Amino acid sequence: MWCFENDPVFQNELDWIRDFVREEVVPLDYILGSQWDIHAPKFKELVRPLQAKVKANGLWACHLGPELGGKGYGQLKLALMNEQFGISRFGPIIFGVQAPDSGNSEILSHFGSEEQKRRYLEPLLNNDIVSCFAITEPQGGADPLQVKTTAVKEGDDWVINGEKWFSSSACYAEFYIIMAVTEPDAPPHNRMSLFIVPADNQGIEIVRNYGVYGEADKTHGHVSWTNVRVPAGNMLGGRGDGFAVTQVRLGGGRLHHAMRALAEATSCFDYMCERVNSRFTKGEVLASKQLVQEKIADSWVELRQFRLLVLETAWLVDQGKSWKELRKHVSAVKATMPKLLHDIASRALYLHGSLGLSTQMPFSSSVLNSFHLGLADGPTEVHKVVVARQVLNDYPPTEDMFPDYIRYKQEARAQALYNK
């Protein structure tokens, strides 16, 4: 039972991660390009030795079971680890938990054949290759009815046609996991299936790579799929199970992204506090201004609230609750995450004045990243609707004109109970 403190062994691991990341991993953010460009000479020179240190300490890919080289840690421990290495964009890849590879590895471990595990999963877990998860399309992402890419059965093969958009790390990927419509007449969440496709298959073309403000390189691909033929055995899960299979990677991933966002927001908060204690104006430090103090207080409270929400959700998973049972909690985390980062990064930027706007500070990048977080894995509005619907399901409507909690009904019940 977790009680706001960790067992000594795990706490020692967290302490090592904290110091290691701050001293050796964070500097990579300032001298390397994309964290997915794993074959770049500088990546091999600088990142591989740090990955070796993580492995030597038994902290590599801890989301996976011992049979796959991990520790099989539960969601609570994984959340706390992500909070530590989430301050660096190289943190996840140095600990073997970078997206989209970590999620794709979970899908392969559950649904891949032995040959697929040998060919793709093993090198993916070693970070010898990277992968791409292709679901979003130019005309839509969150609405399953807007997925237009199709896979049509021809003999023993499936033939895939369509356009995929914002396929992150496509330019570096060894393989894709792609979602395509195979059952067009089925209900929305049963129309699609998942396929694993080698990146060098004929008919796959990267039309253009797009960058995101604040990221080092252009790594998000617009990919065209024209008569791409794959064997029937390349389907992951059953026909029409694409949406259900995808949930294997999304639940835990949202919690991990949340803790990394928390780490990023906490860094902005730390910089903000140092700044207001250091900057003088009108004869006193900024920290003496009551409106500045309000920003500090609001930020501190919001950080603590969000952290507890994420950790409670992670703890519930470890207690045996399914992701389906925790849709409300996970969606609440996802809906809260972008606002937390946006508000705290914006305050930090503002309190740094013109310096905060400059490229010498990380705040503009963090503000833009908050919008990225609000769009990826389902937009904020969708998750708020999920929360509201799940909450309201627990409140049956009253059949009477007036609710049971109206005063005269409460008084009548009290009289019946105590004035017998």
Could you tell me if residue 110 is inside a domain? no
Asked if 56 and 152 sit in the same domain, the reply is no
- CATH code for the domain of 41: 1.10.540.10
**DSSP readout, 34-65?**
-TT-TTSHHHHHHHHHHHHHHHHTT-TTTTS-
Could you tell me if residue 192 is inside a domain? yes
Could you tell me if residue 406 is inside a domain? no
Asked if 271 and 343 sit in the same domain, the reply is yes
Asked if 288 and 386 sit in the same domain, the reply is yes
Which residue, chain included where needed, has tokens 């839509």? 140
- CATH code for the domain of 282: 1.20.140.10
- Residues spanned by the domain of 187: 131-240
Could you tell me if residue 262 is inside a domain? yes
Pick from 204, 221, 240: which residue ends a domain?
240
131, 124 in Cβ contact below 8 A?
yes
132: CB partners within 8 A, 6+ apart: 100, 167, 168, 169, 170, 173, 175, 176, 177, 199, 221
Asked if 326 and 233 sit in the same domain, the reply is no
Asked if 226 and 259 sit in the same domain, the reply is no
The DSSP symbol for 281 reads E
What total of structural domains would you count in the chain?
Answer: 3
pTM score of the predicted model? 0.92
Check residue 110 and give its pLDDT: 87
Pick from 240, 273, 294: which residue ends a domain?
240
Could you tell me if residue 336 is inside a domain? yes
Asked if 250 and 233 sit in the same domain, the reply is no
CA distance 223 to 203: 10
Asked if 265 and 376 sit in the same domain, the reply is yes
Pick from 200, 225, 240: which residue ends a domain?
240
- CATH code for the domain of 206: 2.40.110.10
Asked if 60 and 185 sit in the same domain, the reply is no
Could you tell me if residue 402 is inside a domain? no
Check residue 144 and give its pLDDT: 73
Could you tell me if residue 74 is inside a domain? yes
Could you tell me if residue 216 is inside a domain? yes
Report residues of the chain scoring pLDDT below 70: 1-2, 420
The DSSP symbol for 122 reads H
Angle at 362 between CA 361 and CA 365, to 5 degrees: 130
Asked if 180 and 249 sit in the same domain, the reply is no
Asked if 140 and 192 sit in the same domain, the reply is yes
Asked if 194 and 269 sit in the same domain, the reply is no
Asked if 212 and 142 sit in the same domain, the reply is yes
